[in-house]
């Protein structure tokens, strides 16, 4: 590949250079070692913005084990009507299916809860390769079922449940939406897919253009898929485009990043959903890279987040 594009925002160029220099080559490490490296480089939790409730609980997992979730309830605002139940977002973090956890996305989930005005349920799903696909999706689905049954106790509206996720978590939100439809599970009103890892096609235009030098790489993406789904990927529980039909799925918010190798697949999935009759709100963040929403220190991230929050507010607004 040629050198990185010369027209990038200086702050993006600086951030990409820092990430390229400092983030470990995931393919060179044992997954457990990789998790330790990433945790060791993490800043201390800020626990900001402040929440009315931020609580870790364990629920029954799909296989009889315990599944951790963290529930965020934002403070009420002056415009809130007393007694109004809030919309709910069941969230799956990114991390290539291999790393990250509730803490890595704590600030992002707090910001989402505060700005969208939603109760957020963040899911500590089982990680690969110790737990291959579709274990993570089944954990996400179980968390959705628990939420539908219990979230009213946290001021959430069980009739307004959305699923959301960034990167690998976007895959889990998409596949769990398909599972809920196919299993006649809880009603989901929206799926929020943030630079989602939709499929394992590494030959798309965005992979060809941005597969090297832009933080997330083709090499890393191939490794993530090999960790998560080494035993075949023909199921819609693993790759959503394997579904026989996308009709009847929840309304979608699809946000992609131009400099991200999975960008083309995310855009294609938005088009497929729309062709199947699913309402879609779609936005590509030009000049930005995979994972940027969880870098609040980047100058371009706060306005981009506000765009995402607004799209979420729109899709979660109660119907009249």
DSSP readout, 190-217?
A: EEEEES--------SHHHHHHSSSSSS-
Q: Indicate which residues carry an active-site annotation.
A: 167
Q: Please give the model's pTM, rounded to 2 decimal places.
A: 0.97
For 180, list phi and psi in degrees, rounded to 5. -65, -40
Which domains can be identified in the chain, with CATH numbers? 10-316 (3.40.50.1820)
According to the model, what pLDDT value does residue 64 have? 87
Q: In this predicted structure, what is the pLDDT of residue 319?
A: 72
CA–centroid distance for 296 within its chain? 16
Is 140 within 8 Å of 125 (Cβ atoms)? yes
* Nearest-10 Cα torsion for 195, 196, 199, 201: 10
Model confidence at 77, pLDDT cuts 50, 70, 90, reads: confident
Neighbours of 297 (CB within 10 A): 9
3-class DSSP assignment, residue 21: helix
Query: What is the percent of the chain where pLDDT is above 90?
Result: 93
Buried/exposed code over 134-154 (b: 16+ C-beta within 10 A; e: otherwise): bbbbbbbbbbbbbbbeebeeb
Taking only the tens place, the pLDDT of each residue in 135-176 is 999 999 999 999 999 999 999 999 999 999 999 999 999 999
Separation of alpha carbons 290 and 21, rounded Å: 16
pLDDT of residue 83: 65
Mean pLDDT of 247-267: 98
Token duo for residue 210: 């941005």
Q: How confident is the model at residue 318 (pLDDT cuts 50, 70, 90)?
A: confident
Of residues 89 and 82, the one with the higher pLDDT is 89
Q: 159, 158, 168, 107: which is closest to 133 by C-alpha?
A: 168
Give the bridge partners for 281, in sequence order: 253
Helix (H) or strand (E) holding 150: helix 135-150
Confidence of residue 3 (pLDDT cuts 50, 70, 90): confident
Confidence of residue 60 (pLDDT cuts 50, 70, 90): very high
Q: Give the separation between CA 251 and CA 118, rounded to whole angstroms.
A: 17
Q: What is the mean pLDDT of the chain?
A: 96
Give the pLDDT score at 1.
42
Average confidence (pLDDT) over 71-86: 80
Average pLDDT over residues 103-120: 98
């Amino acid at each position: 590949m040629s050198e990185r594009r010369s027209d990038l925002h200086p702050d993006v160029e600086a951030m990409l250079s820092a990430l390229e220099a400092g983030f470990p080559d995931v393919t060179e490490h044992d997954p457990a070692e990789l998790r330790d490296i990433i945790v060791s480089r993490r800043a201390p939790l800020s626990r900001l913005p402040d929440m009315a409730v931020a609580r870790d609980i364990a629920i029954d997992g799909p296989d009889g084990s315990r599944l951790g979730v963290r529930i965020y309830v934002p403070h009420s605002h002056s415009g809130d009507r007393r007694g109004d139940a809030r919309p709910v977002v069941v969230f799956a973090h990114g991390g290539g299916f291999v790393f990250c956890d509730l803490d890595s996305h704590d600030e992002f989930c707090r910001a989402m809860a505060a700005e969208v005005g939603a109760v957020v349920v963040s899911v500590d799903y089982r990680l690969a390769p110790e737990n291959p696909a579709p274990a993570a999706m089944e954990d996400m689905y179980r968390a959705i079922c628990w939420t539908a049954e219990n979230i009213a106790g946290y001021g959430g509206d069980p009739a307004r449940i959305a699923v959301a996720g960034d990167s690998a978590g976007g895959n889990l939100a998409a596949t769990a939406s398909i599972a809920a439809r196919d299993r006649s599970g809880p009603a989901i009103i929206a799926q929020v897919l943030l630079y989602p890892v939709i499929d394992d096609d590494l030959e798309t235009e965005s992979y060809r253009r941005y597969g090297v030098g832009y933080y997330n790489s083709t090499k890393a993406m191939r490794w993530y898929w090999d960790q998560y789904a080494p035993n075949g990927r023909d199921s819609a529980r693993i790759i959503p485009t394997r579904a026989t039909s996308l009709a009847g799925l929840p309304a979608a918010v699809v946000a992609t990043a131009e400099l991200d190798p999975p960008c083309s697949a995310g855009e294609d999935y938005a088009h497929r959903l729309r062709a199947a009759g699913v309402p879609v709100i779609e936005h590509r963040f030009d000049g930005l890279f995979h994972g940027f929403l969880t870098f609040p220190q980047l100058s371009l991230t706060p306005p981009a987040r506000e765009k995402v929050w607004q799209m979420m507010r729109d899709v979660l607004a109660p119907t009249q």
